[in-house]
Structure 1
Amino acid sequence: MARFGGRWPEGDSEIGNLLRRKGLDAAGVGPVETWPSSLRHIAEMVVNSRQPKFVAWGPELAFIYNDAYIAIFPERHPAALGKPFQQVWSDIWPQFEPIVKATLNGQSQLYKELRVPMWREGQTEDTWFTFSYTPLRDDDGKVAGILCATMEVTDQVLAKRRERIALDEAREKSATLALVNRAGSAITAELNVDRLTQIAVDAGVALTGAEFGAFFYNVDDGEGGSYMLYALSGVDRKHFDRFPMPRNTKVFEPTFSGEGVVRSDDILLDRRYGQNAPYSGMPSGHLPVRSYLAVPVKSRDGNVIGGLFFGHSQPARFSDAAEASLVSLAGQSAVAIDNARLIRAAEIEIAQRREAEDQLRKLNETLEIRVAAEILDRQQAEAALQQAQKMESIGKLTGGVAHDFNNLLQVISGNLQLLSKDVVNNGRAKERISNALSAVERGSRLASQLLAFGRRQPLEPKVINIGRLVSAMDDMLRRALGEEIEVETMVSGGLWNSFADPAQVENALLNLAINSRDAMDGAGKLTIEVGNAFLDDSYSRTHPGVAAGQYVVLAVTDTGSGMPPEIVEQAFEPFFSTKPEGKGTGLGLSMVYGFAKQSGGHVKIYSEAGDGTTVKLYLPRSFQSEDRIATGDNVPATGGTETILVAEDDEGVRATVVEMLTDLGYYVLKAKDAQSALTVIESGAHIDLLFTDVVMPGPLKSPELARMARERLPNIAVLYTSGYTENSIVHGGRLDPGLELLSKPYTREALARKVRHVLVNQAQRRLTNPVPLPANGQPRDIVQARLKLLLVEDDTFIRMDTAEILRDLGYDVIEADSGEQGIELLRGSEAGIDIIIADVGLPGMSGPAFAALAREAFPSLGLIFATGNSNLPEASRFSGSVLLPKPFTTAALDRAVKVAAQQRPIA
């Protein structure tokens, strides 16, 4: 390198001028004058170069650069000249330290468009450089520094990036346009609205980059609108099970009202969202939504069909381009939906027109058939009407006949029963009377069957379980049918209750079973089935008078000879029978038919000659709980000392019934009609029971007589009797609730039981429902609102069970385990005891001994002795006491309490 007196050549270089100053002391290499020739040579080359260059020399890599390099870091010039490399570029030293070390190790390096985060104008900004690092050697050949030739390419890099982004956007727009066009083509070609909207939503998710999208159909419900989820994309539909319709809030309103596009970079910050009482913010469990984009889908006529909704869990994910694409997609979807609707409407109209044309064709083809069917239906209706009129006529005839016939039978029966007492020692006379009474019974049964067929018998329907009733009849049926008949009973599980008269159900089953026995000539198999059944409208149309609905069906099937169709058609007619003369009346099936019809049910015969017969009795289903069926048959056929008023217009009947009641111990008053009976009642006579015929001449009818009697004598009991009740106390074929009826003709035993039953029931009602005091303040009867019982029983389990049953029956119960404890309880009872129920065989003090002490202290106590013996203990000592044989039923226990309450002594 040429030297010019130790100085740099003259020139206009700023850096050269600075280097010529003798005061410049480069870090680690000293003043310029002391630099080695190799450094001076390379420095002169760098300074005179027009390309940005620098040299870093010496142990501290003193930084020497040229004028072209100043533009790279104007803020660091001129302070950087001669300073250590690491100090000059402290902000980028961590990035360049490896490059410097590699160069000092003798490696030449070249970097193109390297990103360098550089501190400029008070902040770090990204810059890009293309540069080379070359190792420099000193005079001894050792690497002593670095030569860098560089060029800043920031503008070029950014320009290329902008170009690339522009190209990407162009490609994206082209792809978006292609996607919109493909979606539009698919949407336009689709005629199914469900598939159409699904295509639109799928395309929208692809266009916008949304995580999920949906189409909600706008439905006008007349109350502000409702919105139905039609299509969903990006998530499983289960996420919307709890949110099938968006809330009608301010953020949804613009879409469903068609105002325009709603786009939000963060829906949670949108002032329209979450400000609608009572709601606040996003519902619990909803998909996370931050970015939100919604576009209305509007029909040609301006009506809003629905809306396309898209969401993303990250904010600011939807661009202007995405919004523009969705607007185009929504427009195409609206046109396609309109077209699909028009096509669908046209298809429906065409289908309706075709259907109408087809119906017209079929109508023309089947006109003759329909006319014939109409004629047949009319004939069936006329036949049903004629049958109904015939049944009505027969019913009126049988009713009138039954009334007079039963009165005659009652006179005959009553007198025969009274006569039987006079011929006790005459065996031949007794036999004749017995034969005559049997004939009376057959006549009564005949009259009853006629009434049943004519639907004139007074039914007492209850809510019953027919399966239980049939099972209870099993032994009786086997005895009635004989050992040669095999009986099988099948009751379906889950059997419904039915509403029917239990006694008539039993009677119907017995009739059917006996008919089957006769059809099998006394040997074969009888199957009884009880199950649930439903008769539909189709069955009802083909069986006039049968209402469609739910029934309980009782089916009786035999293995007998069966019946041909012509016999089946006549089987229900009265007096029709295929049996030999004298073997049957022909009224058994007629009775079953009348009972079924009167009960609102139906009966049907299925039979073929030689193949047995099945008779199905359908009784209407009841949704009520099963009734507890109380019967007076177990009431002893005993008399009493009460006063009975008999109102009967038939002189013969009146005479016999008065004599029978007198013979039973009652004091009897009599009246020939209702008006006469009322006169007796108003005379002030004490009357316990009004026994009145239902049908009597005169303006005052029996029900009105009973009402007026109760007004004047609130504690009077009423018992009706009749051979035919008409409609005075029977309505809809059913005995009015709360009434008691004894049908004519009746036996002395039936009369005794019924009268005793009615009187006991009335006594219980008097005890539980006391009569208010009259105006004079004197009680009509001394009664208590609720009976209080003392139960004395040493067996713990019997005592607990009996006490629970008594409480269920409505009584107050005090328990004692011995006679001694019973005496203590009697003395300490403040309210007083009405009735004692005592076990006879008590340990220690016996039941009778305890009862004697109790009666001595409290003479008006009612007494019931519970025992396994058949006689009352020392009956003469305990007047009015009642025997309760063990084991006893609930009904027997209740009946004993009621009788004891009535018969207890008056103190």
Structure 2
Amino acid sequence: MPFLAYHHDCLGWNGEMAQRVLAFDWAATGLGPIHNWPHSLQAAVQMVLASPVPLVMMWGRQGHMIYNDAYAEFAGGRHPYLLGCPVELGWPEVADFNRHVMDVCLAGGTLSYRDKELVLLRNGRPEDVWMDLYYSPLPDDHGAPAGVLAIVVETTERVTTERERQVAEQALRQLTETLEQRVADALSARAEVEAQLRQAQKMEAIGNLTGGVAHDFNNVLQVIAGNLQMLSVEAPGSTRVQHRIAAATRAVQRGATLAAQLLAFARRQQLSPAVISPAQLIQGMSEMLHRALGEAVKVETHLASDLWNVLADRNQLENALLNLAINARDAMRGGGVLSITASNVTLDSAQAQGREELAPGDYLVFSVTDTGVGMPPEVVEHAFEPFFTTKPDGHGTGLGLSMVFGFVKQSGGHVTIRSAVGLGTTVQLYFPRCLEAAPADTADTADMHTPIVTPMGGRETILVVEDDTDVRLTAVDMLTQLGYRVLTAANGEAALELMNNGTPIDLLFTDVIMPGPIKGGELSMRAAQRVPPLPVLLVSGYTRDEVMHNGRLPPGVTLLGKPYRRDDLARAIRSMLDNDTAAHAAHAQPAAPGPAVPANTLQRPPALLLVEDDTASREAMHEILTTFGLHCVAAASAEDALALAGAHHFQVLLSDLTLPGQSGADLARTLLRTQPDMQVLLMSGYGSDAEIGEPIAGALRLGKPIDLAELQQALAPWLSAAQNETNARRVTHAA
């Protein structure tokens, strides 16, 4: 009689697990072929399989697992992977616990636990599990301990129910005992929130007022500055005229500086954000700070190791720190210690709550601390308001701190100030963490004494869109003087009509803020949609959200702030027109003679998106896929994968199921909303039956370690296309 049939009939090994045990390839384990098993092992297995309670036996030093149907139900998604698996590999999350069990029981001891809490990954996600556990040794044919028998009774439902009842009771007692205090705390918290809201609304209202004033002021300054510059060109030989023009120009610059400070507070200044290393920034400011503060002020810097980078306007950030340092010098009245600190801070929801408009997350914090006279609470309350100052008349505009406040807010951060009379002041600037790398510092090798040459026009046609008549006429005069043909429009609708009726236009020069439904931002988008795209020079007294996107300008758009100099305008326009001409020439360059090659063989978009957070696994799988002939890109998280998917259309997603943050299954659902024809392959260490939640149509699940033949079969359509492409390239190269 065949051995398996013998065991089935004679030993009474019945049930699903009995069939699995008989069919399992035990020769590949430390237990050896089943027909060589000792009598003691066979008897133990028979006892386990016949029991109605969850039993699992771990045989040998490695604890190869054999269990019954009741334990298989307890194991969840780990079944049938656990059968024959060493216990430490089968339950890696509790490997230390099981190692202790094996050590004790193989030495002849026993263990028992009541409501033992463990965190298990039975179905692909961590869950708290409570169990009654009883461990005892299993003897071999000679009576020596050779394995461990475990009785596993899950008590999770009972424990959680009991704990919830003790909690749905403790909460009730606390509510009863502290109701009065809770009401008082709630009222206090509400009052604090309302005070913060009133302060934020007040600052926002002041910001809107100052921003509007600065915008109109800049328009006035633009007319004055433009006419002064043209007058300077038209009367080069008159010393008296040039002297008066220079004096008037200096006054315009002072007005522009004042307007810039107002815009900084209103969060509407023109920023040029870049990735900044805080350590490099502060170290580079050392000489500037010593010159500004003098010898009587001792400057101390404290820089934490591994500081996070920030995305901000470098010049504005330097100005903000310098402004705070000068305020501190004045508060120390000639002498003291100024400390500048940079550190990484992670705020949870409770910590962020006290800093309005600041979300929980990672921040880089600059702290400027002085040993000065300090400020009383009533002064701190108004410190960030424009034109508020405690200095004597003529010794300050009251715009320094308000400029810092507006710049940090516009950069997505937050400012706090702590001060007490006689104890000094600390101002902290919070900037969101930037994950990009900072560019390497490069020395500015430009010769400061090189004369500035104003580039002249080449008879190109420029469309000027400006609602302010004086500003529009000044711009037209400037551009005509520079040699350009000029068309004008007083609003966005008139400009759009000129753009759409076939009028030849080489560049759009438009104000951002105009009356009517079509603003400068809309015009710039329409210009970018033309074939070929029309270069756009935006001009504004301040920037708004419709111009800047994530702190950056759209491609093909340049921003010029008011008031601008004639030379700045000339260089900006000439540079844009020259770059546009070069781009068109490159695009029209004829291809080298040779056989025609399909476009998709010249520039291959990535066909497969690989997502795996384990570095070694990701690199190995990427190499395998490349060997298959597939063009793929790899990401370490769902967030990185979504960023890549925004730039490329992928045919296949091959993702690990368990990722940091968003899971592989949720990533697939997100991508399928924008790329519905994408094939989804999900990998999991919990096998091909791992839990993914809501089904994903057409998704295939692959168990780890990946079977390469199974992977090739799943990727067969794309492997065939990749091979055809390779063959086509070979033919092309041979020709």
**Structure ranking higher on relative contact order (CA contacts 8 Å, 6+ apart):** 2
Counterpart contact for 1:638–1:756, Cα < 8 Å = no
- Distance verdict in 2 for CA 1:359–1:763, change over 3 Å: same
The residue number in structure 1 matching 2:716 is: none
Superposition pairs of residues 701-720 of structure 1, within 5 angstroms: 701-712=519-530, 714=532, 716-720=534-538
SS in 2 for 1:543: coil
- What displacement does 1:423 show? 5.2
Could you give the per-residue CA deviations for residues 296-325 of structure 1, whole angstroms, max 9, x where no partner exists? x9x9xxxx9777654445x35499xxxxxx
In the TM superposition, what is the alpha-carbon distance from 1:376 to its structure 2 partner? Answer: 1.4
Structure 2 equivalent of residue 542 of structure 1 = 354
The CA RMSD over aligned residues, in Å, is 5.1
Aligned equivalents of 1:608, 1:680: Cα separation in 2: 62
Letter aligned with residue 342 of structure 2: V
Once the two structures are TM-superposed, the CA of residue 729 in structure 1 deviates from its matched residue by 1.8
Distance in 2 between residues matched to 1:538 and 1:557, nearest whole Å: 25
Residue 645 of structure 1 deviates from its aligned partner by 3.0
- Mapped contact 1:423–1:429 kept (Cα < 8 A): yes
1:748 maps to amino acid: R
Taking structure 1 as reference, are residues 620 and 308 closer, same or farther at Cα in structure 2, changes over 3 Å only?
closer
1:532 CA drift (Å): 1.4
Question: Taking structure 1 as reference, are residues 437 and 255 closer, same or farther at Cα in structure 2, changes over 3 Å only?
Answer: closer
1:20-55 CA distance string (max 9 Å, x none): xxxxxxxxxxxxxxxxxxxxxxxxxxxxxxxxxxxx
Choose from 453, 456, 465 the match for 1:640.
456
Give, in angstroms, the shift of residue 407 of structure 1. Answer: 0.8
1:755 equivalent in alignment to 2:573: yes
Alignment partner, residue 502 of structure 1? 314
- The within-5 A match list for 1:859-878 is none
1:791-870 mapped onto 2 (5 Å cutoff) = none
Match in the other structure for 2:635 = none
Q: Aligned-pair distance for 1:698? A: 4.1
Q: State the one-letter code of the partner of 1:640.
A: M
The change in CA–CA distance for 1:346 and 1:597 in structure 2 (over 3 A counts) is: closer
- Residue type of the alignment partner of 1:247: I
- In the other structure, the counterpart of 1:728 is 546
User: 2-side partners of 1:282 and 1:374: how far apart?
Assistant: 55
TM-score using structure 2 length: 0.57
Return the alpha-carbon distance in structure 1 between the equivalents of residues 356 and 378 of structure 2: 19
Distance 1:517 1:753 in 2: 40
Contact in 2 for aligned 1:552/1:619 (Cα 8 Å):
yes
2:171 paired with 1:369: no
- Which SS does the other structure have where 1:530 is aligned? strand
Which of 374, 391, 406 is residue 203 of structure 2 equivalent to? Answer: 391
Residue 694 of structure 1 and its aligned partner are, at CA, apart by: 1.2
Amino acid in the other structure paired with 1:758: M
1:439 match: secondary structure: helix
Q: Does the CA-based 8 Å contact 2:466-2:510 persist in structure 1? A: yes
Q: Does 1:402 align with 2:237?
A: no
Corresponding position of 1:602: 414
Pair 1:374–1:318, CA change in 2 (3 A) = closer
Q: Distance in 1 between matches of 2:349 and 2:559?
A: 38
Structure 2: distance between partners of 1:591 and 1:692: 27
Are residue 247 (structure 1) and residue 66 (structure 2) matched?
yes
The CA distance in 1 between the partners of 2:165 and 2:502, in whole Å, is 85
Q: CA deviation at 1:284?
A: 13
Q: Structure 2 vs 1, CA of residues 414 and 307 (structure 1 numbering), >3 Å: closer, same or farther? A: same
Secondary structure at the counterpart of residue 340 of structure 2: strand
* Counterpart Cα distance in 2 of 1:537 and 1:706: 39
Letter aligned with residue 407 of structure 2: F
Question: 1:442 deviation in Å?
Answer: 2.6
Q: Structure 1: which 5+ residue stretches go unaligned? A: 1-209, 219-223, 233-238, 259-275, 320-325, 774-784, 786-907
Which residue identity lines up with residue 456 of structure 2 in the other structure? G
> Which residue of 543, 549, 569 corresponds with 2:381?
569
SS in 1 for 2:305: coil
Give, in angstroms, the shift of residue 719 of structure 1. 0.8
Which of the residues 323, 345, 348 maps onto 1:511? 323
1:672 corresponds to which residue?
Answer: 490
Q: Structure 1 residues 663 and 510 mapped into 2: Cα distance closer, same or farther (>3 Å)?
A: farther
1:436 alignment partner, SS class: helix
Report which stretch shifted further, 646-655 or 467-476: 467-476
Mark the structure with the bigger radius of gyration.
Answer: 1
CA-to-partner distance for each residue in 1:251-308, whole Å, 9 max, x for gaps?
x5699999xxxxxxxxxxxxxxxxx9997899999999xx9x9x9x9x9xxxx97776
Q: Which residue of 2 aligns with 1:653?
A: 471
Distance 1:690 1:492, change over 3 A: same
How far 1:554 moved relative to its partner?
1.4
C-alpha distance in 1 between matches for 2:73 and 2:165: 36
Change (3 A) 1:560 1:422: farther
Matches within 5 A, 1:123-138: none
Aligned to 1:553: 365
Aligned positions, number: 500
Residues 408, 431 of structure 2: 8 Å contact kept: yes
Matches within 5 A, 1:109-120: none
Counting only pairs closer than 5 Å after superposition, residues 323-472 of structure 1 correspond to structure 2 as 359-422=171-234, 424=236, 426-472=238-284
Q: Which residue of 1 aligns with 2:715?
A: none
User: Would you say the 8 A contact 2:232–2:242 is kept in 1?
Assistant: yes
* Cα separation, partners in 2 of 1:318 and 1:480, compared to 1, 3 Å: closer
One-letter amino acid of the counterpart of residue 694, structure 1 = V
Over the matched positions of the two proteins, sequence identity in percent amounts to 46
Amino acid at match of 2:420: E
Quick check: 1:586 aligned with 2:398? yes
**Structure 1 residue aligned with 2:340:** 528
SS in 1 for 2:557: coil
Supply the distance in 2 between the matched residues of 1:483 and 1:657 (Cα, whole angstroms).
48
What's the CA shift for 1:572?
1.2
Query: TM-score w.r.t. structure 1 length?
Result: 0.47
Instruction: Sort the Cα spacing of 1:769 and 1:394 in 2 relative to 1 into closer, same or farther, 3 A.
Output: farther
What is the distance in 2 between the residues matched to 1:689 and 1:469?
Answer: 37
- Residue 428 of structure 2 is matched in structure 1 by 616
Alpha-carbon distance in 1 for matches of 2:87, 2:296: 78
1:693 to 468, 489, 511: 511
C-alpha spacing 1:256/1:512, structure 2 compared with 1 (3 Å) = closer
| 8 A contact 2:65–2:83 mirrored in 1 | no
Please list, as runs of the form range in 1=range in 2, the aligned pairs for 1:239-318 lying within 5 A after superposition.
243=63, 246-248=65-67, 310-313=137-140, 315=141, 317=143
**SS of structure 2 residue aligned to 1:247:** strand
Q: How does 1:136-151 map to 2 (within 5 A)?
A: none
Once residues 490 and 455 of structure 2 are traced to their aligned partners in structure 1, the CA distance between those partners, rounded to angstroms, is 24
Instruction: Write the letter of the residue equivalent to 2:259.
Output: A
